[in-house]
Each structure stands twice: as C-alpha cells, then as structure tokens.
Amino acid sequence: MAANLKFRSDGTFTIVQFTDLHWTDGGKKDSLTRSLMKRVLEEERPDLVVLTGDVIDSLRCADPVRSYRDALSVVEQSGVPWAAIFGNHDCEGKVSRTTLMRVQLELNGTIAEPGPDDVAGVGNFAATIEDAKGRAGAALYFVDSGAYSELPGVAGYDWIRADQIAWYRERSEALRKANGGDPVPALLFQHIPLPEYREVWNSRICFGHRYEKVHAPRINSGLFAALVETGGVTGVFCGHDHINDYFGEWHGIKLVYGRATGYNTYGRWFYRRGARIICLRSGEPGFETWLRLANGRKVATPERHLPNWFSRA
C-alpha cells in the first residue's frame, strides 16, 4: 500500500481530478487540454493529481502508447505525485491495460500500482496520507471500473467485480485495525459512475449539472453497499459522462462527478472544460470540493437541484 503522501503542515491535502482527456495525437485540441491542465496546476498547487480514466481515445491514436505517454507528461513534469486509472476508451484498440500501466510506472511521480493479479482489472490499489504523527490520516482507493459488458444479454458498461469488492473490504479492514478499530477517512476514485449516482440525483438535493443521463452499468454488483457497511469512505469520484458535474449525498457518502477536461471529445455549448478540486483536512471528516474552469473561474457554490422522483436518469 503506497504511503508516500503527507498532509501539509497546515493540515490540508489538495487533490486535482482531471478526467476524460480523450487525448489523441497531440494536435490543436490536445494542446488546449495541456494548457488547461497546466493552468489548473499552477492555480491550485495540489498535493496529488488523479486522472479518472479515458486519458486517451485509443481507437483514434496512431500510436496509443506514445499518446498515453504524451498526455501523462503534463502531470509528470509538474513534479506533483499523480496516478491515472483506466476508462472504457483507454484500451479499446490493440493496446492493453497492462501495457499502459507499464508506461505509467516508467514515468516520474506516479504512485500507481498494477494491483493484485488475482483481482479483476489493472490498477486496483490503495494509498494512505500520513498525518503529523506519521499515522494514516486518510486513505485513497483507486478502482478499475472496466469498459463494456461481456455478458450476453446485458448491454452497456462493465461493473465492479466481486473480487474487487473483496479486495476493498480487506484493505479497509486492515486500515481500521491499524487505526485502533476506527475506520480511516477515505475517498474512492473510478471512471464509470455507480448506479447509485442515478438514485441520488432523483431523490436527494444535489449540486451541479446533469446534462446527460447517468451511464452507469445495468448491473449493480454491490460496491456502494460495501462502502456503507465498512465505513470510512466519504466520497466517490468518477468521470465518464462529460457534461455532468453534480454531487449529492447518499447514505452518508457523497457521489461526485469530475469536470471533463479534454477538448478532443464531446461537450456542451457554454459548458467550459475544467477540473475538480478536493481538499481534505487532517482530523476532520469529509472534504471540501470545487471546480476550476478553463477561464480560471472557481465554482465553489454550484447550482442546487431539488429531487424529482418522476425524472428518468
């Protein structure tokens, strides 16, 4: 379990979430993405960067490995620790997750790990953030949410597998025991939203935008239930749906979309690209979050959405 992260002397730890870069071959739109990323990193000066999938659009890349390396060079050159998890578009062509993980591990600053060989996906790993006393003041879980359903008769996107949930429970329990029996405050990052993102939008007050339906898997394999049962996790962060950026609280856990970062993919008129910022405070539950948009604007008070039991997500 990676443990090279630490809270600052003032007790804060800031994460920048970039998502859905959809990098191809370094053209004009990729240059805009690069500029946005560099601007956000300069403005926020984070302690960690997390790229939540679809770093590249592999089918549109002449050389996916080179494109992946090029996209990640932005965070590598920043000197900030970082990790990238996989989305459904990263490995659609001939390139594999194993190959791209190898690229990631060759670059400076990554905290990523390939994860256990006997667990579905690549890049399932956990990291801790040390507090002033050298203890695990917070934990971060990174999960490979897969790509597309391979089960006949089930269309749509992949789902978190049973062995991944078991892996999470084991890591969570180990941290809890080391923490004197109390759950360690934690966040979880993946690419594809959980089915509960639909439920929270329809039945709770949410903050932000939902301009497209929630493209969650059609099978709910129970990761969210495991998070509720084990305790500790206060936020789940995803990407995937480029023009959604809302968050809402469901059974004590905030379900949060990032803000799509890449210019080489679909968006919405007047819906600026950007990044989500997450701030943890040592010894305090929960987190603060806001958006930083391409024009430099900070969105700390997003629009409020009232629940609608009759809407269809």
For residue 1, is pLDDT > 50? no
Q: What is the pLDDT of residue 287?
A: 98
Q: What is the pLDDT of residue 312?
A: 54
Say whether pTM exceeds 0.85: yes
Tell me the pLDDT band of 4, cut-offs 50, 70 and 90. confident
Quote the CA–CA distance of 137 and 47 in Å, as a whole number.
15
For residues 192-221, average pLDDT: 97
Report pLDDT digits (tens) over 110-147. Answer: 999 999 999 999 999 999 999 999 999 999 999 999 99
Domain ranges of the chain: 2-305
Q: How many helices (H) and strands (E) does the chain have?
A: 6, 15
Tell me the pLDDT band of 310, cut-offs 50, 70 and 90. low
Exposure of 180 by Cβ count < 10 A (0-12 exposed, 13-18 middle, 19+ buried)? Answer: exposed
Q: What share of the chain is helix, strand, coil (3-state, %, to 5)?
A: 25, 25, 50
Quote the CA–CA distance of 228 and 268 in Å, as a whole number.
34
Q: What is the pLDDT of residue 3?
A: 47
- Arch. (CATH architecture) of 2-305: 4-Layer Sandwich (3.60)
Quote the CA–CA distance of 260 and 211 in Å, as a whole number.
13
Quote the CA–CA distance of 274 and 261 in Å, as a whole number.
5
CA angle 88, 288, 74 (to 5 degrees): 45
Report pLDDT digits (tens) over 256-309. Answer: 999 999 999 999 999 999 999 999 999 998 999 999 999 999 999 999 999 876
